[in-house]
Chain A
Amino acid sequence: MVAAPSGAAIATPRGATNGGIGLRLLDAPANAGNDPRARLYIVDHLAPGTVIHRRIEVSNTTDSTMHVALYSSAATIENGSFLGAAGHTPNDVSLWTSIDPAASDIPAGQRVTSTITISVPDDAAPGEQYGVVWAEVRSEPVVDGGVLQVSRVGIRIYLSVGPGGAPAADFTIESLTAERSAEGQPIVLATVRNVGGRALDMSGTLKLLAGPGGLSAGPFPARLGTTLPIGGTEAVTIALDDAVPAGPWDARITLRSGLLERSARATITFPASGASPSVRTAPLHPKMPYLVAGGLVLLLLTAIATPLVVRSRRRPRPDDHHVGTATPSSVGGGKPVALVR
């Protein structure tokens, strides 16, 4: 038996946590100014032949000069996580992306601005692709064995390529499943499907209404931050408070990605243990300003029309109480029907 070092033999100081390298996007397209995702990531739809520029700021918050390498590599969406590929793994997006300057020695506490240029070639195939712009630092080279450590911080690229406008983003909330964890905690699983042409970063809340004794509960945050690929389906988990009664509840879920928002409802009951059967959801109207405005217009018109009709009909027959008039609720059309299975 030989005592043999199998890892590195050198005693080393543990990795410092006194600061690090930071990355920040400085530009967002003007036409996406309201989209919260566009402030964090490079999210764009470009026609073939287009060139865009985005500035990024790399900061060094450590107390020594850092050599930072900037480069772009491929990315994928796996199991709800946006993952940058290993090292410099290329894909179309990374090959179209250049960064200037591509490396910097940044003194302690300083910042450097670099410009990202994405040039989509004329013959680029349509579709959405993902990449990451990385800022990378390495520990000193390994002299006598040991683990060389690399830290990277990145900005995601969601790049849709094709002529015309951006493909519509859309998703559906297909079903809700009420279940209990092994510890007895009530959990709601929402099955969400991306039916649009863009990847989505989901977030949202669940509310429980019309419960036993008229109780309501929530909103409970959806455990999200998951990325949903085009055509993908993910189960979104919402963990509820232990004190929530079994129900039945009128469950209303609202999920969003950027400015896109969808709401749905279903009647669910929490089982004593295990999972209840999935319940298909009925969509609630999205909070689109046009639809809301349209609904208001209809309501207003109805409100005006109703007394007019009543008055005009009443004049010849003042004692007639069964006048057929449109009521606000039947015209407004805002009330969806819960579909229960």
Chain B
Amino acid sequence: MRTRNLIVAAAAALLSLGIALPASADTTTASVTVTGGTLTISAPAAAGSLGSISNSVSGGTINGSLGQVQVNDARSAAAGSGWVASVISTAFTPSAGPTIAASAVSYSAGVITKTGTATYTANDPTNLTGVSAAVTATGITGDNSATWNPTIHVAVAGGTIATTYSAIITHSVV
């Protein structure tokens, strides 16, 4: 008799277990409002200058800074998620004459000042022809931010025409 009671109790437990199982996924495409936070990138205030170099036969490198880049991730992202800040440059174009290709432009992030829990990796691309990861945040737990002041290196070949060059450098975070 005691055994039978046990079976009944177990069956009841199973029944409630069955009820507690999650219902299968809803197939509607209705949207719900989410409460996630915002991913922010600092806005560039002004066009930048990388400096200048003396024209020479042997060439040289211009190392310049364009100011700080800050990524602020307040999305309350799930543990382990991340973001990628990438950089790309156009060729450096003078008003007349040959350009300095973006393949001669490299990037070093330098010191990355951080808040929050995340691992930041400086990818320091050596060629900005294509979109290249510049700083990668991984292993994020909660809100975080990273600030760095990148140095742009422009390799100027010997015999490059002495003039002012312009380019567009884009930082993207996603």
CA distance A30 to B62 in the complex (A): 52
Chain A: CB-nearest residue to B170: A150
CB-based closest 5 A-B pairs: A203-B80, A225-B82, A15-B67, A4-B162, A225-B138
Q: Across the interface, do A8 and B21 meet the contact criterion of CB distance under 8 Å?
A: no
Chain A residues in 8 Å Cβ range of B172: 84, 132, 134, 151-154
Chain A: CB-nearest residue to B156: A6
Partner of A145, one of B70, B160, B166: B166
Give, as a whole number of angstroms, the nearest-CB distance from B168 to chain A: 5
Q: Across the interface, do B165 and A31 meet the contact criterion of CB distance under 8 Å?
A: no
Q: Across the interface, do A289 and B174 meet the contact criterion of CB distance under 8 Å?
A: no
A sample of 26 cross-chain residue pairs with beta-carbon separation below 8 angstroms, ordered by A number, consists of A6-B53, A7-B50, A7-B62, A9-B164, A10-B47, A15-B45, A24-B39, A30-B26, A30-B29, A30-B32, A31-B29, A40-B75, A52-B31, A61-B40, A82-B84, A83-B84, A146-B47, A147-B50, A147-B169, A149-B168, A221-B80, A256-B80, A289-B21, A289-B22, A297-B14, A297-B17
**A199 interface residue per 8 A CB criterion:** no
Q: Across the interface, do A36 and B77 meet the contact criterion of CB distance under 8 Å?
A: yes
Among A143-163, those with CB < 8 Å from B are 143-156
**A269-277, A278-286, A300-308, A314-322: which lies at the B interface?**
A300-308
CA distance A303 to B7 in the complex (A): 10
Give, as a whole number of angstroms, the nearest-CB distance from B9 to chain A: 10
Chain B: CB-nearest residue to A58: B38
Q: Across the interface, do A6 and B84 meet the contact criterion of CB distance under 8 Å?
A: no
Partner of A14, one of B51, B67, B136: B67
Chain B residues in 8 Å Cβ range of A324: none
Partner of A36, one of B14, B78, B84, B173: B78
CA distance A196 to B54 in the complex (A): 56
CA distance A29 to B31 in the complex (A): 4
**B68 interface residue per 8 A CB criterion:** yes
Q: Across the interface, do A223 and B171 meet the contact criterion of CB distance under 8 Å?
A: no
Partner of A30, one of B30, B50, B84: B30
Among A200-240, those with CB < 8 Å from B are 201-204, 221-226
Q: Across the interface, do B32 and A28 meet the contact criterion of CB distance under 8 Å?
A: yes
Chain A residues in 8 Å Cβ range of B28: 30-31
**B96 interface residue per 8 A CB criterion:** no
Among A6-28, those with CB < 8 Å from B are 6-17, 19-28
Chain B residues in 8 Å Cβ range of A226: 82, 138
Q: Across the interface, do B31 and A30 meet the contact criterion of CB distance under 8 Å?
A: yes
Chain B interfacial residues counted at CB < 8 A = 94
Q: Across the interface, do B170 and A86 meet the contact criterion of CB distance under 8 Å?
A: yes
Chain B residues in 8 Å Cβ range of A52: 29, 31
Given A149-B47, A149-B48, A289-B22, are A20 and B162 also a contact pair (CB < 8 Å)? no
Name 12 extra pairs, CB < 8 A, besides A83-B174, A224-B139: A8-B48, A13-B45, A15-B44, A30-B32, A36-B78, A59-B38, A59-B40, A142-B166, A145-B94, A145-B163, A151-B44, A201-B81
Q: Across the interface, do B165 and A304 meet the contact criterion of CB distance under 8 Å?
A: no
Among B36-82, those with CB < 8 Å from A are 36-56, 62, 64-70, 72, 74-75, 77-82
Q: Across the interface, do B50 and A8 meet the contact criterion of CB distance under 8 Å?
A: yes
Partner of B17, one of A23, A151, A293: A293
**A57 interface residue per 8 A CB criterion:** yes
Q: Across the interface, do B41 and A153 meet the contact criterion of CB distance under 8 Å?
A: yes
CA distance A182 to B34 in the complex (A): 45
Chain A residues in 8 Å Cβ range of B84: 81-83
Give, as a whole number of angstroms, the nearest-CB distance from A331 to chain B: 15
Of B40, B66, B70, most buried by chain A (CB within 10 Å of CB) is B40
